[in-house]
Structure 1
Amino acid sequence: MEHQDSKLITLSYQTKNIDIHETSDDEVNDSPIEQVRLTVPIVDDPTLPCLTFRTWVLGITSCAVLSFLNQFFHYRQNSLHISSLTAQILVLPLGNLMATYLPNRTLVLFPSTKWSFSLNPGPFNIKEHVLITIFANSGSTNVYAVNVITIVKAFYHGQILPFAALLLAHTTQMLGYGWAGIYRKFLVDSPYMWWPNNLVQVSLFRALHNAEVRPKGGLTRLQFFLVVFISSLAYYIVPNYLFPSITALSFVCWIWKDSVTAQIIGAGRDGLGVGSFALDWSTVASFLQSPLATPAFAIINIMLGFVIVVYILTPIAYWTNSYEARRFPIISSHVFTDDGEKYDVSRILNFTTYEFNQRGYDGYSKINLSVFFAYSYGLSFATLVATVSHVVFFHGSMIWQQTKSTFRDKFSDVHYRIMKKNYEAVPQWWFYMLSSIVIGLAVLISQGFGKQFQLPYWGVLLAIGLALFFTLPVGVIMATTNQQLGLNIIAELIIGYIYPGKPLANVVFKTYGYISAAQAVMFLQDF
């Protein structure tokens, strides 16, 4: 941004639905994004304690509990995810209880040093609450690498050395933290990377902590939140326990019960869902997560693509019987034989070496996908290419300007200036060191432990390079549209062509390539 005649010309991008406009001097000290200006305050109290005893206790506990629960519930057929929002709500009364009952005493860790901390530094404040929520969010997803261990144990009936499995889980989870530090300047410090989903949490933090005067005939933020929270919790019992059928109401299937065509058209789960709707918010939010946190232009864009693929391309391909599509279900994630039966993977796999059995495959059947699954795979590749081109054409000049600003350490965002003024940033070399150590351990995993993961060292480095390349464009899309793209599809395609016949190598490569980028984006969102 540059000054001209005492006015600020703010940059804008059509994809963010922000109009180019001039602002007065009074608005220079605010964000150029309207949604941020309306949600995030531009004041700070640097005297509030942050890394307190309460922060460490509640943060580590919430991280461990959420990590265990989400990994445990991941194995359900209908998996249940407990987000950091749950911890964000539950730790508030716990923090207030600790502030009320813990003694106001300072403990010295070692008598010969000045290392000490207070059990109760004062009232439980918003900064402690935010840090605890970040702790919780780091453990709010299941460990993706555990899927590799599960595959070997449950489907291949083999074993992985415990220490190798532990290193695999830790390295895949921690690689992304290094990427986050590398791209912090572009995806955190920039005022145009505004992370829509974060604004929802900021609103909740303000509702829980800011003192408000209740307007006449109205509600405060906290009162409104409590009304919605209690009402939604009470209603959630209805579709999930009392009447599960209302999670998907398919009237077309009810009217023509014996028609296969009607089931294909009207089924909400394995069909096109025409005339099907739900009275359950979890069903509504399962497609876009919370539509309240996603910009309207992103929802409209995704919905148009959904209509084109599901209601135009898929039916045309299915009913014209393209590639014998009518032999298989119209929507399914399974693989099938040529005659439409479910594929027996055990017939094409050597369970001793965990390698592809070419002779068994030649004597069995080629693998077939449902038409919708084939479109899903194809469009996953197109999405990543479109992501890179979109970032280059729509955000390329901004990223270049930020690259030059990085060397001058100069940004105009008010929140960046407040943080830089009051707090010392984590040194950049920390992230480089973390990345180097984790990459070294990842290479050790590929070369040691009897090479039981099948992936050679160059495969690990290729997966890391893939994740490092895509973290920036994927992060830009997430930071502006609240839509996160995954690298799992393209990762398994790349290693499948380069190193065929090695199923474990494929899933390990996919894990390093996909989850490190996903972890980086999640950590950047916390930043």
Structure 2
Amino acid sequence: MWHSSMADVHTRIMKKNYDPVPQWWFYSLLILIIGLALLTFLLGIGLALLFTLPIGVITATTNQQQGLNVITELIIGYMYPGKPLANVAFKTYGYISMSQAIMFLQDFKLGHYMKIPPKSMFIVQLVGTIVASSVYFATSWWLLTTVKYICDPSKLPEGSPWTCPGDDVFYNASIIWGVVGPQRMFGNLGLYSKINYFFLLGIIAPLPIWFLSRRFPERKWIRLINMPILISGPGGMPPTRAVNYNMWFAVGIFCNFVVYRKFKGWWARHNYILSAGLDAGVAFMAILCYFFLQIKDINGPQWWGTDADDHCPLAGCPTAPGVKVDGCPVVN
């Protein structure tokens, strides 16, 4: 057995004259470094936990889910400017995790109305997640290893379906919020700093509705005004085109003014099932259209709202000063 008398002279002198470093100093430093290393991950998960409840309430009340993608991109863009991969990862943990949590809650809510045992619903969700993630990973791995020049339209053969248009969303977000950074767009180095005042406007916008509902309690329709929906709803119109909203208005008006007024009892029992059926119908029709039409290069008829031309001829014009392109004005 080792004894203190067996220590060399240097060890005995150091032990006699100086106190050793407490072990908790090392442990504290280790915990601190680990905490700093996991700060981004924990902050993203914390945002998801913080916003799941209020956004879940809005989703349950209005069937419209609000997103945290801009908030998460803004936060990580200020914390780690010039880091596109960090921006994408933080967005995934802070926004996508919350969105997935609300989707799981929607399944439980539907199971509640369908009288499905909660344990069975949980098992189905877990198994479905494992199967889906495995299939997604295997498909992505297979495509990346077998398709040459995937996601590069300039090198792919003409008519190739492997152009990865959906990846542009995450890629563009990583460039705008990661590489360029919010400080160069919405901060003191950018041209759009005044847009930050809309955060304040969004915070105070529900207050007048709350005040009017308290001031005029007999006007029950005032409580139905939902400012988050009114503000965020039109945000999807530019990329999705107006035809999507026309269909939404048509179905909504028909269900509320015809079905609800005539069959209020039936609507109260089956409205959530109808909503799930419409969503499932859209998903099945998308799959059928792909396998029976698009895979054979049959894109279907061209009617109003489906034309690729957005009737904005100047959208593709350069905005840099002095650049000359036929059909475009020259910016001074």
**Which of the two has higher C-alpha Rg?**
2
* TM-score, scaled relative to structure 2: 0.50
* TM-score, scaled relative to structure 1: 0.34
